[in-house]
Structure 1
Amino acid sequence: MTGDLVDSMAKWQQTTRPASLDSLLDALGPLLPVLDLIPNAAIFIKDAQARYLLANQTLVERCGLKSRQPLLGKTSAEVFPAQLGPVYTAQDMKVLEGGLVLESQLELHLFKNREPGWCLTYKWPLYSQANAIIGLIGISLDLQSASKTHPAYKRLVAVDEFIRQHFNRPLSMAELTAIAGVSAAQLERYCKKVFHLTPRQMIHKARLEHAHRLLHSDMAITDVALHCGYTDHSAFSRQFKALTGLTPRQYRQATGQD
């Protein structure tokens, strides 16, 4: 269902050119009760200053709020924790100022209880009839469990187990395709169908989950990097920040471990 929802939103963004954000919100207003019923997807619209104009109930709850009103008119920097919010707003501004389309961005979010959660985030610029960017629309999907009904599920489980056992060293696509007995293109396609991630994202996820656990200890960050399969501390920091918006040290501070 969520895959269909993302496809529908992408097509809608490509074909919709509202006269103004107000007219767009008026048109979408009747749909908000339906959007509120989608439990694992935070859906939102923001204006050209990255302020929330529309948010469904899932997003309201993720922000630890009881109602929608305190969220509207504010940026992520004003709503989310101090070390996280500005990162999300900076991402918004890349969409709003440069027309960036963000698709299937694997992100590790920290929720109000400081528990981590994996999400796939999508953001698209909204264009007016004059072809100017007037806002953005986005959706952040909670990463779903594996689809066990897919014919390739058993072979891909072996790939997933191999990644989880060997993420602390470099992994090649050749190793993974040999385990699955399929081509690289097929593996990419099947992994997205079953795990909702590419093989590369699966590796990043396994490494970052382990890093999350180690960052809750007093282990030095350079040692955390080595234990997670990174021989280069700076490469670990770059990848960690790409998925969380924070450096490992900032993440440790945000989770109260430093």
Structure 2
Amino acid sequence: MGRMHKDTDSMRHAIGAQIADPFFAEGLFDALPDVVFFVKDVGGRYVVVNQTLVQRCGQRHKSALIGRTPAEVFAHPFGQTYLAQDMAVLAGDADIEDQLELHLYPNRDPGWCLTRKTALRDAQGRIIGLTGISRDLAMADKKNPAYRKVAAAVNVIHEQYGQPLQLPELARIANMSVAQIERYFLRIFHLTPRQMIIQTRVDAASRMLNGDASVADIAQACGYGDHSAFTRQFKATTGLTPSQYRQVAGRKGEV
């Protein structure tokens, strides 16, 4: 086993030393319209971006992003939030793995994605930048044999998101064990049950924020007995507090 690992490392190092352009993946990611790809330096400035990110930022050319931070590219306060997230990764706090996020595009239409960011290190282990992707949430795999059973639990989430939802109860509804329902949720919806509950609640809250209901009432209606817990979850998912989202989403049509 150790010999195999050593041989694999040797092969990686050998081909890595021969690659003329370390950013060869940029062209591959340009061909993926549902994936945002980027590389940033230690200051959080874009070094490499794909065309999807350029379009999502309402720009035409990559040069509009290169050398700039998210705070200089995205509208306030989104850019500041993304930059703070980057700086935490660059400080070595922790990589980000499949964080569920709700983004607002230039026309203010919302879109769900899963974001990953990881620090880039040199041969001595020093952090020299970061790279990341943000994948649009994929459509459900309705051909999976377990889809109908899991869909019963999903219907409960959609209909009762304002109530306490426990994983063992969702598993019982789907006639599965907790381990099974978690596994099939990932296979079919590309989300954990907890992520789907969050998505459903934040979706509902974002719609309600277009109305006149108070943030406290919206929190209660979306299953959060604690106003502050709702605000923390909403900001972690959207990058904005509910009040900020209400203000930004209301400016539909502005770029």
| Deviation at residue 138 of structure 1 after TM alignment | 0.1
**CA radius of gyration, larger in:** 2
CA contact (8 A) 2:40 2:46 kept: yes
User: What is the aligned counterpart of 1:217 among 187, 211, 216?
Assistant: 211
**Cα deviations across residues 69-121 of structure 1 (Å, max 9, x unaligned)?**
11000111110011110000000011101251100100011110111110100
TM-score if structure 1 supplies the norm length? Answer: 0.88
SS across alignment from 1:100: coil
Structure 1 residue 55 corresponds to structure 2 residue 49: yes
Alignment of 1:25-174 (within 5 A): 26-29=21-24, 31-174=25-168
CA distance in 1, matches of 2:69, 2:179: 39
2 CA distance for matches of 1:91 and 1:25? 31
Unmatched segments (≥5 aa) in structure 1: 1-14
Structural RMSD (CA): 1.8
Alignment-derived partner of residue 228 in structure 1 = 222
Letter in 1 for 2:79: G
| Conservation of the 8 A alpha-carbon contact between 1:99 and 1:133 | no
2:91 match: secondary structure: helix
User: Is the 8 Å Cα contact of residues 225 and 231 (structure 1) preserved in structure 2?
Assistant: yes
* Unaligned ranges ≥5, structure 2: 1-11
How far apart are residue 146 of structure 1 and its match? 0.3
In the aligned structure 1, how far is the partner of 2:99 from the partner of 2:22? 28
TM-score by length of 2: 0.89
Asked whether the equivalents of residues 29 and 50 of structure 2 are also in contact (C-alpha less than 8 Å), the reply is yes
CA distance in 2, matches of 1:152, 1:136: 38
Amino acid at match of 1:69: S
Matching residue's letter, 1:146: A
Amino acid at match of 2:136: D
| 1:137-174 deviations in Å (ceiling 9; x for gaps) | 10000001101121211111111111000000101112
Residue deviations 1:197-238, cap 9 Å, x none? Answer: 000011011101100110000111111111111111111111
Aligned-residue offset at 1:25: 8.9
Residue number in structure 2 paired with 1:198: 192
- Secondary structure class of the residue paired with 1:212: helix
CA–CA distance in structure 1, aligned partners of residues 129 and 93 of structure 2: 10
Which residue of structure 2 lines up, in the alignment, with residue 11 of structure 1?
none
CA contact (8 A) 2:216 2:227 kept: yes
